[in-house]
Amino acid sequence: MEVPAIFTEAEFYQQNFDPQEYLKEFYSMSSSREGARAFMMQNLRILHKMFSSTDWNCWELEKWLKNKAGAFNWEPVVKYFYELEGYREKWAKKQEKLRKKVKQVLKCDVTKAKPMGPMSPPPADCIISMLCLEGACKELATFCSALRNISTLLKPGGHLVTVTALGDTYYTSNKQAFSCLCLQKQEVEEAMVAAGFEVKFSEVQPYMVDDDHVDVRGVPLPMWTMWSVGL
Ligand SMILES: C[S@@+](CC[C@H](N)C(=O)[O-])C[C@H]1O[C@@H](n2cnc3c(N)ncnc32)[C@H](O)[C@@H]1O
């Protein structure tokens, strides 16, 4: 076969490209098409590696949602949650319902003006962010702009519910230290207001450290705070 005389553009594809034949030739994994088979498998391995090394969090959640082997066992947490709701004995049914409710798992970077990328989901009634912002933001100014970035994902009047560590400079996991922006209650409150939120509820509670997983230098007592704020 010869090189086409002119470049085969969209219209040429509309008239001449047969997807069924193409798929048979390149994706049938037939032994008579060894080169195509090896090429496809190699591409899939690269894609798998790329996605699993960049999106560990999403991958972990997907495993649980699809009830796959090796998924984290959330059973004790789910049971405790439904105990609070008064449905402890129905936890298994509720867990299944919860799995089905999740429509999509998307990556998010709070430091970006569009945290979910150019294809943002529809504005939300409520966003929950747990112990993320202080780990994602190196400085108070970044923390403030991260709050503004998140606010773009909310409907007018929507709520941000967040748990923030106060007075912490790092935490450890799997023998690795991760930085934490050391924040005080007033700084968090001011950042919320500067980002256009109105603080509806906040509660500061002590975190009883019984191991060396967190370091607290900023305050005499380790504190965690929870906020519910509306736009
Ligand atoms: C201490 S973990 C908190 C995990 C969990 N939300 C919880 O409540 O235990 C910090 C999380 O922040 C996420 N993170 C770090 N930088 C981020 C960023 N720029 N945007 C969004 N999330 C980020 C990390 O991937 C990690 O899952």
Q: Please report the pLDDT score of residue 218 as a whole number.
A: 42
**Residues 194, 143 share a domain:** yes
Question: How many domains are contained in the chain?
Answer: 2
pLDDT mean for each 10 residues of the chain (231 residues): 93 96 91 87 78 78 94 93 90 94 93 92 92 94 96 91 87 89 91 90 74 56 57 66
Q: Whose CA is nearest to atom 26 of ligand 1?
A: 132
Cα–ligand 1 centroid distance for 135 (angstroms): 6
Q: Please report the pLDDT score of residue 215 as a whole number.
A: 67
Cβ of residue 128 lying under 6 Å from some atom of ligand 1: no
**Residues 180, 100 share a domain:** no
Cα–ligand 1 centroid distance for 194 (angstroms): 22
**Residues 101, 131 share a domain:** no
How far apart are the C-alpha atoms of 91 and 95, rounded to whole Å? 6
How far apart are the C-alpha atoms of 72 and 114, rounded to whole Å? 30
**Residues 206, 153 share a domain:** yes
Cβ of residue 132 lying under 6 Å from some atom of ligand 1: yes
How far apart are the C-alpha atoms of 97 and 132, rounded to whole Å? 26
Cα–ligand 1 centroid distance for 134 (angstroms): 9
**Residues 125, 158 share a domain:** yes
**Residues 129, 222 share a domain:** yes
How far apart are the C-alpha atoms of 134 and 45, rounded to whole Å? 35
**Residues 119, 89 share a domain:** no
For residue 80, give its domain range.
57-105
Q: Please report the pLDDT score of residue 220 as a whole number.
A: 39
**Residues 193, 100 share a domain:** no
Question: Is 194 a member of any domain?
Answer: yes
- DSSP of the chain, one letter per residue? -PPPSS---HHHHHHH--HHHHHHHHHS--GGGHHHHHHHHHHHHHHHHHHHHH-HHHHHHHHHHTT-TT----HHHHHHHHHHHT-GGGHHHHHHHHHHH--------TTSSSTT-SSPPPPEEEEEEES-HHHH-SSHHHHHHHHHHHHTTEEEEEEEEEEEEESEEEEEETTEEEE-----HHHHHHHHHHTT-EEEEEEEEE----SSSEEE-SSSS-EEEEEEEE-
The one-letter amino acid at 61: L
Q: Single out the residue of 158, 134, 156 nearest to residue 146, CA to CA.
A: 134
**Residues 190, 95 share a domain:** no
Question: Is 41 a member of any domain?
Answer: no
| CB burial readout 146-158, b (16+ within 10 A) else e | bbebbbebbeeeb
**Residues 227, 122 share a domain:** yes
CATH number at residue 192: 3.40.50.150
Complex ipTM value: 0.97
How far apart are the C-alpha atoms of 40 and 63, rounded to whole Å? 24
**Residues 157, 99 share a domain:** no
Q: Please report the pLDDT score of residue 225 as a whole number.
A: 60
**Residues 62, 96 share a domain:** yes
Q: Whose CA is nearest to atom 16 of ligand 1?
A: 136
How far apart are the C-alpha atoms of 96 and 80, rounded to whole Å? 16
